[in-house]
A and B are shown apart, each in its own frame.
Chain A
Amino acid sequence: MQWGKVKNILIVILVAVNAFLLCNLGVKQWQDWERVRELQANLGELLSGYGIELDASFRLPGDTVLPTLSVDRSRTSEEAVAAAALGGELERTEREDGAVLLEGASGSLEWQADGRLQGECATGEPAPEEEKQAQRLAQRLLEKWGLASDDAAYTADGLSVTMTGTAAGLPVFNRQISLRFDGQGGVAVSGLWSFGTPYTTVQASGTVCVASDALLAFAANGQDCTRITSMTIGYRLQSDSGRRLQLMPTWKIGTDSGDYLVDCAKKTILEQEN
């Protein structure tokens, strides 16, 4: 037996099989790409009927299935944040609706049952005079208070700084904390936040997030916009009937008149940002 020839034959067979598999994969990918392109073109036509056009840079995101996640409210973490922000002894007042007011030497913070936070306190640092200083100080304060995470992103607008973060690796569109410096050593805090790792159970089924369905539902709802520029999948924090915090799969649709959130399951438009 001439092993050299056998190897040659094997190499030829393997090359042929690999080439076939590669072609097969390529055809599938091309078909997928073509299907998305066709879908986007059809969507563009349908949307034009509503007086809305898709921006040239718009790319229709792929469909996905996301689990609805739960987050436990952590009063310990809320109190730890308040202790770090307000310093000294804290006076705690609980209200019937689940809100907790924490008052300290340098101000007060109120956490609502649905994760909303608002309050005012003294920073104990020189007041920032411009945007970059405000952003640096906000970042330092939020890190000191134990709110900032590794993936936190900051945006500044004058003396107002907003921090956003992700949960389960995806953006949570309404989970953000804003610090507004008053220029006299004080800061107003407001926003919506959650603590701890989100969870789901094995039995729980996921929510199918279909971009085209959400876009059509959005357009059919008669929104005041003429151009859609982007579409992103993520989560939205909300409290359910049992006052448990949940992360609901949500599309964020960017338009020329602002950003809109569309619930992936119900296709309802929830709120308009900006």
Chain B
Amino acid sequence: MNQAGHSVKNTAKNVSLIVLVLLLGVLCAANWLAGMNIDQMPADNLLRRAYDHVFGGAVGYELRSSGVAAAEPAQLALTTDGQLYGVQYSLTDIDAGLEAVRPLWAAVLSDGELEQAEEAELVAALRAGDCALLRYHGAIPLSVAAGWMGGSWQSDLAVETLVYTAGSGQLFVRTDTGALYAAAADADESVLRAAQQGFRGLSCQFSGEAYAVYPETLLFDRETLSLPLLKAGSIDLFDPQSGTGLEDLLDAFGFTPYANYYSEQNDRVRVFVDDVSTLRVNAAGLIQYAAGADSTVRAYDAGEAAGRAALDAQLDCARTILDTAVRAGETDTHASLYAVQHNGNRTTLVFLQMYGGVPVLGDNDFATFVFENGSLTSATIRLQRFHADEVRRTVLPARQAAAGAQGETRSLMVAYRSDGDYFAPGRFYL
């Protein structure tokens, strides 16, 4: 009996010890968590997501490491029932078209061996059956464009135009220098049919060999592209009425609102300085950032990413800063990637400014970002605000512009350019 009593006591002590140790663990965790600022943790942190689930934060949203396109296509086209249809220079049309053709491009852009191709080969392929075209405003690395479409391609060749010819089973890509490459490509018939059912646009044709422009240039039937004149408005980034715009901008470049700064030009320019970087903000919209290799603005940590993932992270970092800057300036414009240059560990990203779906060209690039080993070492953004005038101008149709092209084959682009007091839309040869 005595032994049985001992045994019960011993069991009770063991159970108490286990319970107390477990409770100790829980209380230690609770004390640790209570001392942490979980709200400030990045959204991809597991603890942050668990906390949001339990305490009613934002949940059930996707967290994309990248994949958000930093550039919108300028033109899309697809053959449906033997007729080519296309959309161009309109964000809404491009968005709608992209939704329909993205699965097709995801299937087409699934790696292959690119080889230099002849113009005649492209002309023949364009006549061979159904085609799809995707054209950007600038030169985008093929691997990046493929990623945005949901596909994958290893090559970093900078391409402006992609043409899929279902009849010949080929993908043609045109680089920014005008070189033409081709690779075997194949998309499932059902994917092509689904894209054709969802795609809507205006009827058009490829120029082929008819004019002194690239054969894949789209010539729209009865094209009347009418765009408003734009008048540049003033920006005041230091306006107290603009809420936390400047604060957000500083945050995007790794500065706190309490960072040291000195003023120039009657407080029209503020220069924010910390140990490793300098941010010069002109109230009128010019933003210049410079930092050393230990910059606090990092797209990724050393060794964390390489190749395509590193480029994606840098694009994402630049795009996020640009989005913040555009919001701070309330410019009613957006940015689109124009060029990517690699030089060893140094990557330079150049962005165009877009009003609607049309680029606005100035004397300088809208935004330039330079990364070294994933750190942002230099950035320049030239914010501008535009107001659409009631006066509209009809842009020279591509067919007429193509007919007027002379000399070597070239491409055409629609853009706004400064014209006296206004920015006027026009079609330009490239």
Contact = CB atoms under 8 A, between A and B. Distances in A.
Interface of A: 4, 7-8, 10-11, 14-15, 17-18, 21-22, 24-25, 28-29, 63-67, 69-70, 72-76, 92, 94, 96-98, 113, 167-170, 197-206, 208, 235, 240-243, 263, 265-268
Contact of A67 (B21, B58, B66): B58
9 contacts: A18-B27, A63-B39, A94-B96, A96-B90, A169-B60, A170-B58, A200-B43, A202-B316, A265-B243
A76 B198 contact: yes
Given A67-B43, A205-B251, A241-B332, A168 B200 contact: no
Contacts of A205: 251-252, 320
A201 B64 contact: yes
A18 B59 contact: no
Contacts of A64: 39, 57
A181 B89 CA distance: 40
A76 B175 CA distance: 32
Contacts of B95: 73, 75, 243
Contacts of B61: 67, 69, 167-168, 197-200
Ranked nearest first, the 4 interchain pairs of A and B with the lowest CB-CB distance are A266-B243, A98-B92, A242-B334, A199-B62
Contacts of B13: 4, 7-8, 11
Contacts of B403: none
A69 B28 CA distance: 34
Interface string B1-30: 000000001100110110011011001101
B59 A168 contact: yes
Given A25-B30, A205-B252, A268-B243, A197 B60 contact: yes
Nearest to B320: A203
B20 A4 contact: no
Contacts of B276: none
> For B72, B326, B327, which residue has the most chain A Cβ atoms within 10 angstroms?
B327
Contacts of A92: 200
> For A94, A200, A242, which residue has the most chain B Cβ atoms within 10 angstroms?
A242
Nearest to A75: B96
Contact of A199 (B64, B313, B320): B64
Given A203-B299, A267-B244, 13 more contacts: A11-B16, A14-B17, A63-B39, A69-B61, A76-B198, A94-B96, A97-B92, A169-B57, A198-B61, A202-B63, A202-B316, A203-B317, A266-B242
Given A21-B24, A21-B31, A70-B68, A243 B316 contact: no
> For B30, B61, B66, which residue has the most chain A Cβ atoms within 10 angstroms?
B61
B44 interface: yes
B331 interface: yes
B267 interface: no
Given A25-B30, A67-B43, A202-B42, A168 B58 contact: yes
> For A74, A169, A263, which residue has the most chain B Cβ atoms within 10 angstroms?
A169
Given A75-B96, A96-B90, A241-B331, A7 B17 contact: yes
Interface of B is mostly: helix
Contacts of B57: 64, 66, 169-170
B56 interface: yes
A269 B16 CA distance: 57
B27 A10 contact: no
Contacts of A263: 243
B248 A265 contact: yes
B88 to A, nearest CB: 13
Contact of A25 (B27, B65, B320): B27
Contacts of B52: 169
Contacts of A8: 13
Interface in B76-130: 90-93, 95-96, 99
A241 B63 contact: no
B378 interface: no
A80 to B, nearest CB: 11
> For B9, B42, B65, which residue has the most chain A Cβ atoms within 10 angstroms?
B42
A14 B24 CA distance: 7
A16 to B, nearest CB: 10
Contacts of B323: 240
B56 A201 contact: no
A204 B65 CA distance: 10
A70 B40 CA distance: 20
Given A25-B31, A201-B64, A65 B39 contact: yes
A25 B39 contact: no
A13 B313 CA distance: 50
Nearest to B313: A203
B34 interface: yes
A204 B43 CA distance: 9
A205 B41 CA distance: 10
Contact of A202 (B27, B43, B60, B91): B43
B411 interface: no
Contacts of B42: 202
Nearest to B354: A242
A29 B31 CA distance: 10
A115 B6 CA distance: 74
Contacts of A97: 92
Given A25-B34, A113-B92, A201 B316 contact: yes
A198 B58 CA distance: 11
A241 B333 contact: yes
Nearest to A235: B58
Contact of B17 (A11, A29, A204): A11
B333 A201 contact: no
Contacts of A76: 99, 198
B63 A200 contact: yes
B265 to A, nearest CB: 26
A265 B226 CA distance: 37
Contacts of B44: 202
Nearest to B198: A76
A90 to B, nearest CB: 12
Nearest to A15: B20
Nearest to B244: A265
A18 B30 CA distance: 12
A176 B155 CA distance: 45
A197 to B, nearest CB: 5
> For B9, B31, B354, which residue has the most chain A Cβ atoms within 10 angstroms?
B31
Nearest to B91: A243
